[in-house]
Amino acid sequence: MEGSHTEAGGPRLVIHGVRGSTPTGGTDTARYGGHTICMSVDDGAGRVLILDLGTGLRNLQADLPPRSDGYVFDVFLTHYHWDHLQGLPFFLPIYDASNRFTFHGYGWEGMGVEELIAGTFRPPWFPVALADTAAEKEYVALNGDPIRVGDLTVSWTRLNHPQGVTAYRIDGPNSSIVVATDHEAGDPEFDEALSVLGQGADVLIHDAQYTDGEYELHYEGWGHSTWTHAVEAAQATGVGRMVLISHDPSHSDDAVDAIVEDARRSFAHLDAAYEGMAIPL
């Protein structure tokens, strides 16, 4: 049950998956966790906001007690790369007719949200097609005004990643969190958009997949940032706290520790995301 429910202090965003690109097994990534990106806010009364559907969705599933009258899920997708969708076919609530899902996201090159999610959720890539699952489903293309989900308000902007990516801001009753994963900093227009989205927010969860050395050597243009980029974004938005996410699959727990140690010299209130981390909203 760790981190799944509203407490006296208000809702919390719980991080269920932290890894970029592909899940990692093995003992040397067990401390931060090997699941790909997924986070949620559970109101404890049957309404759950989910941000991305990576394999971390397995951890959320373990946290959800059975409900006879079902759950209402609002899913916000940053983009449609495999590592952000791969958990959905293995998420048992999608097969239960008492549950309702609303999927929010951007279209891409004429494809709508449903088509983009269903692309690999169908035979022969998976035995069942998304359209044949029992839960009630609705697909919403993002545009215009922010969306209310219970006592949360969700707003967004588009950032820099192959095929595009959406950064979200979740404003809760006590605090506000911006999630900018799978964003490559360095394009002034996108960096400014993130800075505008994050003005007045409390926490920035930002992609920090690479070290500066790795980025310069191999990964410029791959769609991810370094911890230096992340710290610059935090300083531009003026947030008080920052959380690094999208840990590279080749980075052991010790390597992530080293990144945190380096980054804290530039931004003191900084942590690396781990599975089960809960941030007040």
Residues 174-213 that bind Zn ion (CB under 5 A): 182
39 versus 152: smaller Cβ distance to Zn ion = 39
Residue type, 16: H
Interacting stretch for Zn ion, rule CB under 5 A, among 78-86, 172-180, 243-251, 259-267? 78-86
CA dist., res. 53 & res. 36, Å (int): 8
160 versus 175: smaller Cβ distance to Zn ion = 160
- Write down the least CB distance from residue 20 to Zn ion, Å: 8
The site map against Zn ion for 128-167 (x = CB under 5 A) is: ----------------------------------------
Structure tokens at 191: 């960096």
Which residue bears the tokens 């891409």?
Answer: 108
DSSP of 195-218, one letter per residue?
Answer: HHHHTT-SEEEEE--B-HHHIIII
CA dist., res. 281 & res. 275, Å (int): 18
182 versus 202: smaller Cβ distance to Zn ion = 182
Residue type, 1: M
Which of 81, 104, 241, 251 forms a contact with Zn ion (CB under 5 A)?
81
CA dist., res. 220 & res. 236, Å (int): 21
Interacting stretch for Zn ion, rule CB under 5 A, among 38-46, 76-84, 135-143, 270-278? 76-84
Interacting stretch for Zn ion, rule CB under 5 A, among 48-56, 74-82, 108-116, 260-268? 74-82
- Write down the least CB distance from residue 19 to Zn ion, Å: 12
- Write down the least CB distance from residue 221 to Zn ion, Å: 13
Beta strands in the chain, from DSSP E residues, in sequence order: 12-17, 38-42, 47-51, 72-76, 100-105, 136-141, 147-149, 152-159, 165-171, 176-180, 203-207, 241-245, 270-272, 278-280
- Write down the least CB distance from residue 269 to Zn ion, Å: 27
Return the number of other C-beta atoms located less than 10 Å from residue 137's C-beta: 19
- Write down the least CB distance from residue 211 to Zn ion, Å: 19
Interacting stretch for Zn ion, rule CB under 5 A, among 22-30, 73-81, 173-181, 240-248? 73-81
- Write down the least CB distance from residue 39 to Zn ion, Å: 16
> If 0-12 CB within 10 Å is exposed, 13-18 middle and 19+ buried, where does residue 109 land?
exposed
CA 19 to chain centre: 10
240, 200 in Cβ contact below 8 A? no
- Write down the least CB distance from residue 135 to Zn ion, Å: 25
81 versus 206: smaller Cβ distance to Zn ion = 81
Residue whose beta carbon is closest to Zn ion: 81
Check residue 52 for interaction with Zn ion (CB under 5 A).
Answer: no
Q: Which residues bind Zn ion (CB under 5 A)?
A: 81, 182
